[in-house]
Structure 1
Amino acid sequence: MQLNILGSNYEFTNELSSIDLVLNKIVENLDGTDFYLSHLLIDGVELFSDFDSYIAEYIEYIQEIRVEVLTIKEFLNEIFSSAEEYLLRALPEVEILTNEFYQNSSGHTWEKLQLLLEGLQWLNQMILTVDQEKLKPDNWNQYIEYSAKLAVELKNLEEGIINQDNILIADIIQYEINPLMCNLKDEITSTIDAIGVRKNIT
C-alpha cells in the first residue's frame, strides 16, 4: 500500500506490522511543519479517527492512504467553528437545565449537567490548544480572561455538586456560567468573521 503525504509517497507492505510504521511516518512528516492532520483518505473513504482500527480491519486490501492536511489558519477555523456550533446548541439547553435545578432536578437533570461540564472542559481545552499556536486572533486576551473565569466557576460548581445544592448549582449556571458562555460565543463569532470562513452558508 502507498502512503501519500505532503506530495511524498511511501510504500508499505499490507501487513499488521506496517500500521505503526504508517502512523509514525505521518507524525514524522507533519512534525515541525505548519500543517495539521485533518483526516485520512483510505481508498476514497474519509476517516477522522480510529485510524489504526480501520487500517487493521482492511489491511489486506488497502491500496492508498492519502493524508489530508490543514494550514494553521484552516486548523484554527475548524476549532472555532466547532466551538461556535457547540455553543449555539448548548445555550438554549443551559436555560432549560437551570430551570430544572430551580424546580425539581431528576436523574436526567444530573446527566445533562455532566454533559455541560464535559462541554465546558472541552472549551477550556480548545483555548489551551490555540494558546500554544503562533497564530492567534487579535481578541485572544479576552479568551484567556474568560477561560480563567470559567475555571473559577467550575470550581464553585463542583462545591454545589458535592453538596447536592440545587439552588447554588442553578445560581452559578444562570448568573456566572451562562453569561460567560454567551460572551465566549460572541468572541468566537467575531473571530470567525475576522479570520475564518463559516461553512454551509446558503
Structure 2
Amino acid sequence: MKLIAAGQEYIIENNSVMIETILNIVDQALRDHSLVFCGFEVNGEEFYDDLAQLVADRGETIETIVAILLTQEQWRRETLHSVKEYLQNSLPLVETLYQDFYDGPSERVWQEFGKLIESMEWISKVAEYTDSQAFLDYQEEVRNLGIAVSQQDTGQIGDIIQYEIIPRFEKAIETLSAKDGGKAFDIN
C-alpha cells in the first residue's frame, strides 16, 4: 500500500508492524514540518477513527493512505470554520430547547441537552487551542447549567439557555463570520 505524508510517498508492506511504521512516518513528518495531524484519507475517504481497526477490517483492500496534515494556521482556520458551522446548525435547535425546559423536559429533551453540554465543552476546548477564549469559552455556562441540573430547576436551565447561551452563540457566529468566502476570520 502507498502512504503519503507531507508530500512524500512511501510504500508500506502489509505486515505486523505496518501500523507502527505508518505512525512513525507521520510522527516524523509532523516534527520535520511543524504540522498538526488531523486524520487519514483511506482510498479517498476521510477517516478519523482507529487506523489499526480499519487495517484489520479492510487491510488488503487499502491501496492508499494519505495523512491529513495541516499547518497550525490551516488547522486553526478549519477548526473555527467547523465551530461556526456547528453553531449555525445548532442555533435553531437550541432556540426551541429552552422552551422545552419551561414546558417540562422529556427524555428526548434531556438527550438533546446532553449533546448541547458536550458541544459547549468541545467548543471551550477549541477556544483554548485557537486563542479564541473571549467568545468561545462556555465553561461558566456549563457550570451554571450543572448547578441548575443539580437543583432540578428546569426553569433555570431554560433561562440559562435563552438568556446566556443563545446570545453567546449568536455573537460567536457573528464574530466567526467569514470575510472571504468562508476562509478568513476576524476573531478580534
The aligned residue for residue 181 of structure 1 is 169
Of 176, 179, 182, the residue aligned with 1:193 is 179
2:48 is equivalent to residue 49 of structure 1: yes
Alignment identity in percent?
Answer: 28
C-alpha displacement at 1:64, in angstroms?
Answer: 3.4
1:123 deviates by 0.8
The match for 2:3 is 3
Correspondence for 1:144: 133
Match of 1:13, SS? coil
Distance change in 2, residues 1:92/1:196 (3 Å):
closer
* Number of the residue aligned with 1:139: none
Structure 1: distance between partners of 2:175 and 2:125: 16
Give the aligned partner of residue 160 of structure 2.
172
Identify the range of structure 1 (97-106 vs 19-28) with the bigger mean alpha-carbon deviation.
19-28
CA deviation vs aligned residue, 1:93-131 (integer Å, no higher than 9, x gap) = 111111111122111111111111011111111111213
Please provide the CA RMSD for this pair: 2.3
Q: Determine the structure 2 residue equivalent to 1:94.
A: 94
Shift of 1:24: 2.4
Quick check: 160-169 or 54-63, which moved more? 54-63
- Alpha-carbon spacing, 1:32–1:130, altered in 2? closer, same or farther (3 Å): farther
d(CA) in 1 for partners of 2:89, 2:31: 34
Does the Cα contact within 8 Å between 1:15 and 1:59 map onto a contact in 2?
no
**Residues 144-201 of structure 1, C-alpha deviation per residue, up to 9 Å, x if partnerless?**
22345x2222111101111110111111111111111111111111xx3269528xxx
SS at structure 2 position matched to 1:69: strand
TM-score, normalised to structure 2's length? 0.84
Aligned to 2:141: 153
Higher RCO (CA 8 Å, separation ≥ 6 residues): 1
| In the alignment, structure 1 residue 83 sits paired with structure 2 residue 65 | no
Distance in 2 separating the partners of 1:76 and 1:195: 16
- Unaligned 5+ segments in structure 1 are 132-142
Uncovered stretches (5+) of structure 2, i.e. residues with no partner: none
Q: 1:137 corresponds to which residue?
A: none
* 1:37 correspondence with 2:37: yes
Distance 2:11 2:92 in 1: 50
What is the distance in 2 between the residues matched to 1:108 and 1:64?
Answer: 41
Check 1:146–1:61 CA distance in 2 against 1; reply closer, same or farther (3 A cut): closer
SS at match of 1:197: coil
C-alpha distance in 2 between matches for 1:144 and 1:7: 34
Report the counterpart of residue 134 of structure 1 in structure 2: none
| 1:72 positional shift | 3.3
Cα separation, 2, equivalents of 1:36 and 1:124: 19
